[in-house]
Amino acid sequence: MRQISFSDAEFANQRKRTRREVFLAEMDQVVPWVRLMALIEPVYPKAGNGRRPYALETMLRVHLMQLWFNLSDPAMEESLYDITPMRQFAGLSLTHGGLPDETTILNFRHLLERNNLAQRIFAEVNAMLTEHGLVLRHGTIVDATIIAAPSSTKNSTGTRDPEMHQTKKGNQWHFGMKAHIGVDAESGLVHTVTGTAANVNDVTETHSLLHGEEDAVFADSGYTGVAKREENRATVVDWYIAAKPSAAKRMHASLQETAARIEHLKSSIRSKVEHPFRVIKCQFGFTKVRYRGLAKNTAQIQMLFALSNLWMARRTLMRSMG
């Protein structure tokens, strides 16, 4: 019988489950562990003459917790020492086998990046959701959000990230990148993710966010004129783009009420695109990029939106799996 530590023994006698425990228990049920490990296993280091690697499932669980709780590599290592539910979720113990250090956690993330596994994991999660009938693909909502990047030049190179740029929104300037998403109009789940510098116009990414099977596309007024763009002329869909406020003012008074009802209907559908943004920013705490370069940060947002899909669909998935 494996000896448990004092902290694990004390935790086992507690009477109330914390919100972190409930969250981890729910995500443990809905993450398709076997399918995700099958993607990573071919490139994961095998045990040899050197140091024995941690179990693949352990490192995957650590990596997902790092994303869920927005932790740096050193902070993730410390959390494994300090927080019993996180340690138990990863299948680790203070008294048996040791805990992965920040370099091991970093190397696992680099492994995923080198092999473009974030995109494949995102696709695999969506394939599982589609099999459960949660992604219907009849309509797509497109939108983008700005993710801030550090603007300081107090670093080893003395420069800001050259792949990040600034853009003006309203009367405020923002430096960073944009996360562009295509969302299923029925379920509100994200089916496509792209990352660009913040100064890229939203409308230029629209064609990259469509899967080709939708009948309708919904977007805010920032996408006005999208149907006339060269890359979208062959796309056979109904475009439902929000009208600019000034358009209603130019209408005859007798038409303004009807136009307002139409715009309200568009907005009621389009509002679903805000839910995934809320999850990654408010639930997972992702409001600023952690790494340099678009490739690394795009890989992170692909993983985050895969996890946000699981979080948003968790209750339906648990009912179907139970």
Average the pLDDT over 243-249 and give the result: 70
Lowest mean pLDDT among 71-75, 146-150, 151-155: 151-155
CA distance 68 to 72: 11
Q: Report whether pLDDT(156) > 80.
A: no
Least confident segment among 224-233, 251-260, 275-284: 251-260
Which run of H or E residues covers position 22?
Answer: helix 19-30
pTM of the complete model: 0.91
Between CA 224 and CA 313 the distance in angstroms is 31
Query: Rounded distance, CA 37 to CA 59, Å?
Result: 10
**277 pLDDT tier (thresholds 50, 70, 90):** very high
Q: Report pLDDT for 257.
A: 74
Does pLDDT of 49 surpass 60?
no
Q: Compute the Cα dihedral for 263, 265, 270, 276 and give only its sign.
A: positive
The per-residue pLDDT for 272 is 95
Give the tokens for residue 135: 């992604």
Tell me how far apart the alpha carbons of residues 256 and 78 are, in angstroms, rounded to a whole number.
59
Closest CA to 317 of 189, 227, 163: 189
Whether the Cβ atoms of residue 109 and residue 100 lie closer than 8 Å to each other: no
Q: What is the pLDDT of residues 295-314, one digit of tens each?
A: 999 999 999 999 999 999 99
Residue 1 banded pLDDT, cuts 50, 70, 90: very low
Tokens of 186: 């029925």
Q: Where are the domains of the chain?
A: 6-115, 137-321
- Spatial contact of 216 and 241, defined as CB atoms under 8 Å apart: no
* pLDDT confidence bin for 251, thresholds 50/70/90: low
Q: Does the pLDDT value for residue 144 go beyond 80?
A: yes
Percent of all residues in the chain with a pLDDT value above 90, rounded to a whole number = 76
Phi/psi-derived region of residue 116, left when phi > 0, alpha when psi is between -120 and 50, beta in every other case? left
Residue 206 pLDDT > 90, yes or no?
A: yes
The pLDDT of residue 291 is 93
d(CA 247, CA 165): 31
Average pLDDT, the chain: 90
At residue 157, the pLDDT reads: 78
**Residue 300: how many other CB atoms lie within 10 Å:** 24
Confidence of residue 166 (pLDDT cuts 50, 70, 90): very high
**pLDDT at residue 97 in the model:** 75
**pLDDT value at position 3?**
52
